[in-house]
Structures are given as C-alpha cells and as structure tokens.
Amino acid sequence: MTIDIEYVILRHLQMKLKAPFTTSFGTFQRKEFILVEVVDRDGVSGWGESVAFAAPWYSEETVKTNWHMLEDFLVPLALAEPIHHPEELAKRFSAIRQNNMAKAAIEGAVWDLYAKRLGVPLCQALGGTKKDIEVGVSIGIQPTVADLLQVIERYVAQGYRRIKVKIKPGWDVDVIRDVRRAFPDVPLMADANSAYTLADADRLKALDEFGLLMIEQPLAADDLLDHARLQPLLHTPICLDESIRSYDDARKALDLGSCRIINIKIGRVGGLWEAKRIHDLCAERGVPVWCGGMLEAGVGRAHNIAITTLENFALPGDTAASSHYWERDIITPEVEVQGGLIRVPDAPGIGYDVDRRQVERYTQFAKVFHRTATA
C-alpha cells in the first residue's frame, strides 16, 4: 500500500486542566500542544499529538521547538515522497538528531492514516491483541497529605488498578507511609521525576518497607550508570522513564542492570515504531513494560491505548479517563474507564472520532503545508 500525503495541518492548541497537576519539576494548569493532521489524496485524515510541554521541564523539547522542527524539517521530509509503511519515517527522520516528540507527533498521524487505509484498528496494525487494557492513575503532589488521601480514595473507588504518587525530597517517605497505612492493599508506586541523587540512596531504600510496585526515575534524566549502582541496594524495582529515549538506551539499561521495569512513552522514544521495538526487546529479556502518560488530550491518549494492547505491557499504565484531566476532550466518544479497564476501540485507525468543533475551540493558530507549496 502507498500513502500519498497531500497536505499536513499543524494546530497549536491550549486546553485547561480540571485541576492543577504538580510534579517535582513544576505545576501545570494548562496544556499547550501541537495537533498534527495528515490528509491523503482521497481526503482521509490521520491524527497525531505532540506531548512536549510549554517549558523544558521534562525534556529539552518544548511546544515551540516542536513546531520549528515539524515546520522546517519533519513535515517537508514526510511530504517528500510516498510512504509504504510508517516504519519508513524512522529512517527518513534519522538525519535529524533527537527531537523525538516532534518525530512521534507526525509519525503517529501517519500510523493512524495507515491503519485507516488498511481498514483495521491501530492496535491491530501494531500487532496488539488485547481487547481491554488495565489502567492506573497518576496523582500530582497535593497541598497536604489529607488532600492526597482524599484524591486517592476517589480513584480507588472508581476502580483504577494502580495508584502512582509523585514524590520529591521532603514529600516522600512520610507521605508514602501515610498512604500505605490508609490503603494497605492498593497497588502503589512512587514517581520521583529525577528528583534525587545517589547520595539519597538510604532515603530511597526506606521506601522498601511499603511494598511498592516500583520507584520511577529516581535519579538524573540522562543517567544509566548510577541507577545501575542504586538498583542492587533496593528491594523495590526501579523503573526508568526519562533515561530511555531509544531502543539502544533500553538495551544498555538492561545490560547494566539499571532497572527491572521500563516505562514506554511514545513521544519520548520517537514514535510508535520505536516503542514497539523497545517492547519487543523487553519481552525477550523478561522485563515488563507499561505505558506512561504526558497529560495527553484524546488523540495522544488513543495512541497510548493502541500500543498498550501489545502483550508485554504487563502493568497498568497512566492512561486515565478523559474526565480525569479535561472538562471536554477533543475526541468522541471520550476515553472512559470502567472497573479499572479501558475497552479498546475496534474502529479503523485510532478508533475515536476527532471532534473538530472542540479542536477549533482550543486552537490558538494553525498552518497548512501542501506537498508542493507551503501556505
């Protein structure tokens, strides 16, 4: 099959979160992001979403740098010649270093279009088999422990299969102790977002007593070696997030013993194809993976659902319901969670319709790029 992209539309959207979301590196009240639409000669659209934030807190990429990379490099490369399979884009984009979130945004749109042209759900095009996926929820740092316990209670009552609590120095051991005392049987994990150093090993080891599923990314975002030194000191598995940007990063982490679990984020690793490669590697090594979240709107959330249908996504991911974050999402139907499960859609492509009315409502500006001209 040949995909001839006739034009690409980049839209800069801004959506207000239902409640502020706080991590060790900042507080988010609004999410700015780029929505990518690729349209073929028959007028069929594929959709992708950039997960970069407005400021370089999580990684060096931002909404503005993604727009620059897409406009000046990646969109022209995608339009340069027909595409036979989305995996070709990885090679086509290989001359562009890093900028994984920008690459993933347009690659995701092409995957959606590809699956629609095949007439199959995106999950099937990726090789996924699950009909339902287990999901957990990520809870930001709250004003007080009492507030945190109240939020957790609400999501436990809704059936979420795992609770993730953000931690940082000064909001860690005592907080997790209070959470575990209140919820002794809930699958629980802590996410540090690189807030610690190897000098904090004793403090991180103190978390062992709480029976956590994992501690996510305790040390530096670009580190593998210190994590390899820390993991043998802990009973709790380390899960790497920011440190894994590619298949090779995952291979090195596993070879070094830097972690026992890997969080796969499509944007962080450069797209669905690289995410699938990392999944397959971890499956061969017997290392479970799960799908992390980046406060995605509906299109990004739909891609997360699709990749999570692969068999070695063995732990509940961060793909909570649309209503967890937004008053009104940009897809219909919105993503819903029932009993801690999301039913995987079976319509072609991402399986959800993009609500163009809501997209227009949230769009700050847009630009169209044609195969032979830019407008």
| Residue numbering of the annotated binding site for Mg(2+) | 191, 216, 241
What's the rounded Cα separation, in Å, for the pair 90 and 108? 11
DSSP symbol at 194: T
- The single-letter code of the amino acid at 155 is Y
- The single-letter code of the amino acid at 27 is T
Tokens found for residue 121: 């759900």
Cβ-based burial of 30 (10 A; exposed 0-12, middle 13-18, buried ≥19): exposed
Residue 318, C-beta contacts closer than 8 angstroms, at least 6 positions apart: 135, 136, 137, 138, 164, 290, 291, 292, 293, 304
The residue whose two tokens read 């907080």 is: 175
Strands 188-191 and 163-166: parallel
What's the rounded Cα separation, in Å, for the pair 68 and 66? 5
Alpha-helix runs per DSSP H in the chain: 63-69, 75-79, 88-92, 100-118, 122-126, 145-157, 173-182, 201-205, 225-230, 247-256, 266-269, 272-285, 298-308, 356-362
Binding-site residues: 191, 216, 241
- The sheet carrying 137-139 orders its strands as 137-139, 163-166, 188-191, 215-216, 238-240, 261-264, 289-291
Give the active site residues: 166, 265
